[in-house]
Structure 1
Amino acid sequence: MTAIVLDDVHKRFGQARALRGISARIAAGRLTGLVGPDGAGKTTLIRLMAGLLTPDQGQLRVAGLDPVQDSEVLAESVGYMPQRFGLYEDLTVQENLHLYAELRGVAKADYRATLDRLLAFTRLEPFTDRLAGRLSGGMKQKLGLACALITSPKVLLLDEPGVGVDPVSRQDLWRMVQALTGEGMAVVWATAYLEEAEQCEEVLLMNEGRLHFSGRPEALTERLRHRCFRLASAGDKRALLAQVLARPDVRDATIQGECVRVVLAEGTTGAGAALASLGEVSAAPPRFEDAFIDLLGGGPGGHSPLADRMPAVTTRGDRVSCRHLTRRFGDFVAADDVSFTVRPGEIMGLLGPNGAGKSTTFKMLCGLLKPSSGEARVAGVDLRHGASDAKLRLGYMAQKFSLYGLLSVRQNLSFYAGVYGLRGREKRARIREMIEGFQLEPLLDSAPDQLSLGFKQRLALACALMHRPPILFLDEPTSGVDPITRREFWTHINGLVSKGVTVLVTTHFMDEAEYCDRVALMYRGRVIALDTPDALKARAGQGASMEQAFIHLIEAQAHG
């Protein structure tokens, strides 16, 4: 049974063509992924399905209704969860559900049964009296999902529900969504995360407002059979990645633990021999992400002109260290006896579920939050006595952008250059360097809020790098951005590390953890594992992915 019909749908915003003739069928009782990079048109299409926008051309039918003409009736048949779901953070979980039940016209006689069902379904019963603003990222998404399901819709539209959510919480979201499709509901899950797309029964792959593929994910993945390889070498894996990406016969490449994962261009002959001169070659199964990058023309390359301009960092000794670092908020211990060191030119990953204490630890190491006990040192400076001095030696990209919405892109760059003590000719040169390195020229007079998520992230990283810091702290730097933009970021990060820059990074994106030299896994404020990505994967069993390792180690700790 067809739940949604799209027939030659077009949508413009001024001169920008957001959708260019989208035609597709979305089945009831199935999970359909709406996949594409930043600016592909995913959110525009979902808002059309929800009746919040009107198409300029073409027709839609959702649950048998016209979203424009039948907008009032449609609200009962469609649940919609936007990217920034409208939870009221000063209301409790229970109060949010009551409010949405009132807004959606749920009969008072049905309140108790409806809310009890949704609380049980989302496993939020123990948290009904907690303020929404105090929920973890994963629990906020579950509450948002419960609010979207308040009328038992026939169609559920989810716009990037996995953004900022850790793998364990994402697993819970998948469990809930698969239960809904089993009951006959049509679920559309918009995402730029390709691991999520791979779990969908059908995918619509979009780019620049056009539909490039419609079908089962494995049908697209199969096109790359015999083109994917692992390349192992005893040398520097980041240098090997840059070397591989410079080859004309390579479509894409990423770091995977101590190996480099390579996707060769279509029609490449003697594939294994072509790479054998660089190291030991073995075949790898293709992934949906490989097919996605290949379909869009390949990855962005492995050379960072930004890193070319960065002088080599020569400081010796541990760049970042913490010993018995603890932070309490009343009776709650957010970070509990955390100890580790980060060596010069190393990428250290700080991983953990939402609420594990990663951002609290980060803020203490940046001098933004005073520890309750313990010691933190950055660039040899004890943060208890020299936090201001340490801040000038590090670049910090916050999880929620520290950009100023009332200033233009140009003014944000100028402001941050001044904050870091740059003046005159040097200041102008650094700003120009960032504009060119992150392709910001066309956007200089725009406000940050007008930028796509990918360009917001570029601007935030540019501001953090303005003073050429020897230490870089990145708190979920690519949350929500598409795979191509993530590759651009890691090209810059790898290039900076090759110059001796030390990086501490948090991420919920397990493919990014593969780029790290070591990973510290946190749970309930404590470091429960500290090792290389390959060693952590080995603890979860032969052939385990980084995501499987994360879930295995967290669940073992939770149930141990």
Structure 2
Amino acid sequence: MPSPYVIDAQGIAKQFLVKESGQRVQALHGIDLRVREGSLTALVGPDGAGKTTFLRLVAGLMRADRGSLNVLGVDVGADPQAVQDRISYMPQRFGLYEDLSVQENLDLYADLHGVGREERQQRYQRLLHMTDLTRFTERPAGKLSGGMKQKLGLACTLVRLPQLLLLDEPTVGVDPLSRRELWEIVQQLVQEERLSVLLTTSYLDEAERCAEVYLLHQGQMLAQGVPDDIRRQADGLCRIAVPPAGQPARTLQARLLQEPQTVIDAVPQGGEVRFIEQRDADPQRLRSLLDGAPVREVASRLEDGFMVLLRAKSGAEQVDVEALRGTAQAAAADEQAVIEVKDLVRRFGDFVAVDRTSFAVARGEIFGLLGPNGAGKTTTFRMLCGLLPASSGSLQVAGVNLRHARAQARRRIGYVSQKYSLYGNLTVRENLQFFGGAYGLHGAHLNRRIEQVSRQFDLAGHGGAPSGQLPGGYRQRLAMAVGLLHEPEILFLDEPTSGADPLARRGFWQRITALAAGGTTIIITTHFMEEAEYCDRIVIQDAGRILAMGTPQQVREQAGGVGSSLNMEQAFIEIVVQAREQANHAAGAPA
């Protein structure tokens, strides 16, 4: 009788040798995992949990040290090619050829997989329709937006119809609209073609759509079951608190997270704070933390259960909030505008990437730049950092005209890029010394700043470790420490939590909240709409133009009306879709 499982893993263990140190790292410890045929299954867990390692084992790209792993009824360790002929695997950095067109990329992957001409034409028609790329077949892949590239990568992966699809973080770096479209494609394939899918994801709302969820932590299986099984871990513990009028939700959230013995987790949500209390929390201590904020109970979600399980295993990260507040040189009470943008334009040939954008940012404000992939926000961001000249308009940063004195302005700003841009072969301390020298810091002053940021970002015990070997969360901390070495007035963060799990994002935002409270101005781009709730104000851009600007609540109300119950992701999609429909209508209307 054939097995109902397309993946049947029993006792899987995998170890890696770290060449530089000669030490062995255990990536997976005796993992049991089964995926049913025709089902959608999620593998979730913090950074470094072993998710990608497991996918690569299933794909036959490496062999397990111990245990049995059967894929589609085949021992993948003994015959990886027999498995690879029947599956498709889309890694995090899928290899599109950017100089080739959409059609040429599809043709290349069809050739590589030996897909016949008649079969490929049928597949192309369906895949282009599903991904909405039919109009773009002649466009070079390098000219596509991030979301369109992900959809093309998925189409190339599916040029041949596999029996099993492996997806490693398919929606990392993708805006909410493109994320929704990608999920519609995956769910359609599961429902209509009975495709079996195993995916990893950092988005717990995505995992909630799956038939079964496996939760990994440090290479061990922490929990498994249908989403409701994991969600129930937080039943009866979830609350919503309403902060006092005029107080940002992130302030109350940061205070709650400083008491891990009382509060398991807290996150801003719709201008309020959603939190999970400890089962044995002291009611009097909790009331003191809430400081009179009204509270109501709410139903638990998968992410709540996820956080309960993770906190029980690893505990809460302790962030030195007071030390971070001391890094800013200016007072938070000073509301003077430190960034002023008027009629900013950036052209690339005939293409207008940013079209007459205007806004101002006050000192100590957290200001979010949001928008679909290709909307112009990254171009705006790069102009604000002095990395790209404006075509026209006025741009003042820290009192300096960026069109005429970019180098002078850059000395007063810090920058953390989306892609890890430090030197992986240098140790943590060597990176700090190198970049400190680049910022003009020397001698005792540089050493003092290195000690300060190492303490603030909990890097003190990692100074001698090569930065390229650090877990993702620590690499992010090091990038933040480097960006703040010279005590900048303004910190620019370009999708800093892309691919980070909820645990890492909480610690990151505790640090950002403390920096803003100390007077540092924060400009951030993000595709996590949850993170827009931390911002004092946000801008939503598309096609180079501002569609919405204001507090998160004002933007939600713009999308759904006063008293709207839309969350930020729903509001974002509504605003972008409405604007595009209006633009399409205007373009098609008679002159």
Instruction: Give yes or no for contact 2:269–2:530 (8 Å, CA) kept in 1.
Output: yes
- Given that 2:42 and 2:213 are in contact with CA atoms closer than 8 Å, whether structure 1 keeps it comes out as yes
What is the aligned partner in structure 2 of residue 286 from structure 1? 300
Query: Is the 2:369–2:539 Cα contact (8 Å) retained in structure 1?
Result: yes
Alignment match, 2:589:
none
User: Does the CA-based 8 Å contact 2:5-2:34 persist in structure 1?
Assistant: yes
Alpha-carbon deviations, 1:393-415, whole Å to 9, x = none? 11111223332345443332112
CA deviation after TM superposition for structure 1 residue 301, in Å: 4.9
- Residue 9 of structure 1 contacts residue 55 of structure 1 at CA under 8 Å; is this kept in 2? yes
Q: CA deviation at 1:335?
A: 0.6
Tell me which residue corresponds to 1:472: 491
Please name the residue that 1:512 is paired with.
531
Farther-moved stretch of structure 1 (132-141 vs 255-264): 255-264
Which letter maps to 1:189? Answer: L
Distance in 2 (CA, whole Å) between partners of 1:214 and 1:94 is 40
Structure 2 equivalent of residue 380 of structure 1 = 399
Which residue number corresponds to residue 352 of structure 1?
371
Instruction: Kindly provide the CA deviation profile for residues 176-214 of structure 1, in whole angstroms up to 9, marking residues without a partner as x.
Output: 100111121111110122222222221111101111111
**C-alpha distance in 2 between matches for 1:147 and 1:302:** 43
Matched residue SS, 2:440: coil
Distance 1:108 1:444, change over 3 A: farther
Structure 1 distance, partners of 2:537, 2:51, is: 35
The CA distance in 1 between the partners of 2:352 and 2:423, in whole Å, is 31
Alpha carbons of structure 1 residues 130 and 448: separation in structure 2 relative to 1, 3 Å: farther
Q: Give RMSD over aligned pairs.
A: 2.0
When structure 1 is superposed on structure 2, of 400-409 and 423-432 the one drifting more is 400-409
In structure 2, C-alpha distance between the alignment counterparts of 1:104 and 1:374, rounded to whole Å: 50
**For the structure 1 residues 440 and 276, does the alpha-carbon distance in structure 2 shift closer, same or farther, using more than 3 Å as the test?**
closer
1:307 matched to 2:310: no
Contact 2:13 2:67 in 1 (8 A): yes
Structure 1 residue 539, shift from structure 2 partner: 3.7
Q: In the alignment, residue 304 of structure 1 is paired with which amino acid? A: V
Residue 372 of structure 1: how far off its partner (Å): 0.8
Aligned AA (1:229): R
User: Does structure 2 retain, via aligned residues, the 8 Å contact 1:350–1:506?
Assistant: yes
CA contact (8 A) 1:306 1:492 kept: no
How far did 1:230 drift? 1.6
Distance of aligned partners of 1:516 and 1:43 in 2 relative to their CA distance in 1, 3 Å threshold: same
Query: What is the Cα deviation at residue 258 of structure 1?
Result: 3.0
- Indicate the residue corresponding to 2:551 in structure 1: 532
| Residue 92 of structure 2: aligned partner | 83
Secondary structure (helix, strand or coil) at the match of 1:505 reads: strand
Q: Does 1:545 align with 2:548?
A: no
Find 1:33's aligned residue among 35, 42, 46: 42
Confirm or deny: 8 A CA contact 1:245 1:302 kept in the other structure: no
Whole-angstrom distance in 1 between the partners of 2:555 and 2:5: 44
- Distance in 1 (CA, whole Å) between partners of 2:137 and 2:322 is 51
Aligned to 1:13: 16
Partner residue of 1:2?
5
Contact 1:76-1:151 at 8 Å conserved across structures: no
Specify the code of the residue in structure 1 equivalent to 2:247: D
Q: Give the match for residue 350 of structure 2.
A: 331
Deviation at 1:283, TM superposition (A): 2.1
| C-alpha distance after superposition, 1:103-134 (max 9, x if no partner) | 21223443333333322222212122222222
Q: Which of 51, 57, 69 pairs up with 2:60? A: 51
Tell me which amino acid in the other structure corresponds to 2:566: A
* CA–CA distance in structure 2, aligned partners of residues 28 and 434 of structure 1: 50
Q: Pick from 199, 213, 219: which aligns with 1:209?
A: 219
Corresponding residue for residue 265 of structure 1: 278
- CA positional deviation for 1:547: 0.8
The DSSP-based 3-state class of the residue aligned with 1:368 is coil
Aligned residue number for residue 342 of structure 1: 361
Per-residue CA deviation, residues 41-63 of structure 1 (Å, 9 max, x unaligned), is 00010001101111111111112
Shift of 1:78: 0.9
Give yes or no for contact 1:242–1:303 (8 Å, CA) kept in 2: no
Residues 444-493 of structure 1, C-alpha deviations (whole Å, 9 max, x = no match): 45544433332322222111111111111111111111111111111111
| Structure 1 equivalent of residue 252 of structure 2 | 240
**Which of 266, 279, 287 is equivalent to 1:253?**
266
How far apart in 2 are the matches of 1:441 and 1:53?
35
Contact between 2:325 and 2:516, CA under 8 Å: does it hold in 1?
no
- Alignment-derived partner of residue 162 in structure 2: 153
User: Is the partner of 1:323 in helix, strand or coil?
Assistant: strand
Which AA in structure 2 matches 1:236? Q
> Conserved in 1, the CA contact under 8 Å of 2:252 and 2:290?
no
Task: Work out whether residues 293 and 299 of structure 1, in 8 Å CA contact, stay in contact via their aligned partners in 2.
Answer: no
Determine the structure 2 residue equivalent to 1:122.
131
Indicate conservation of the 8 Å contact 1:275/1:281, yes or no.
no
Aligned to 2:240: 230
Alpha-carbon distance between aligned partners in 2 of 1:242 and 1:173, rounded to the nearest angstrom: 33
SS of the residue corresponding to residue 403 of structure 2 reads helix
Which of 521-530 and 286-295 deviates more?
286-295
Q: Deviation of residue 225 (structure 1)? A: 2.3
1:417 pairs with one of 430, 436, 453: 436
Can you give the 5+ residue segments of structure 2 that lack an aligned partner in the other structure? Answer: 18-23, 583-591
Matched with 2:421 is 402
Mark the CA change 1:402 to 1:55 in structure 2 (over 3 Å): closer, same or farther.
Answer: closer
Tell me, which stretches of 5 or more residues in structure 1 are unaligned?
A: none
In structure 1, distance between residues paired with 2:254 and 2:292: 12
Give the partner amino acid of 2:458.
Q
Q: Structure 1 301/294 Cα, relative in aligned 2: closer, same or farther at 3 Å? A: farther
Report the secondary structure of 1:172's partner residue.
helix
Per the normalisation by structure 2, the TM-score is 0.90
Preserved CA contact (<8 Å) 1:231 1:275? no
The separation in 1 between residues aligned to 2:138 and 2:424, in whole angstroms, is: 34
Comparing 313-322 with 477-486, greater Cα deviation is found at 313-322
Deviation string for 1:473-527 (max 9, x for gaps)? 1111111111111111111110111111111111000111110011100011111
Report what 2:230 is aligned to. 220
Name which of 347, 367, 390 aligns with 2:386: 367
Give 1:197's aligned amino acid. Answer: A
User: Counterpart of 1:112 in 2: which secondary structure?
Assistant: helix
Query: CA offset at residue 216 of structure 1?
Result: 1.4
- 2:587 matched residue in structure 1: none
User: What secondary structure is seen at the aligned counterpart in 2 of 1:384?
Assistant: coil
Question: Which residue does 1:493 correspond to in 2?
Answer: 512
SS at match of 2:41: strand
Which segment drifts farther, 360-369 or 88-97? 88-97
- Residue 318 (structure 1) aligned with residue 337 (structure 2): yes
| Higher mean displacement: 298-307 or 191-200 | 298-307
Moved more, 347-356 or 291-300: 291-300
Number of aligned residues: 560
Secondary structure in 2 aligned to 1:261? strand
Report the counterpart of residue 60 of structure 1 in structure 2.
Answer: 69
Q: Distance in 1 between matches of 2:441 and 2:546?
A: 37
Q: Distance in 2 between matches of 1:173 and 1:501?
A: 37
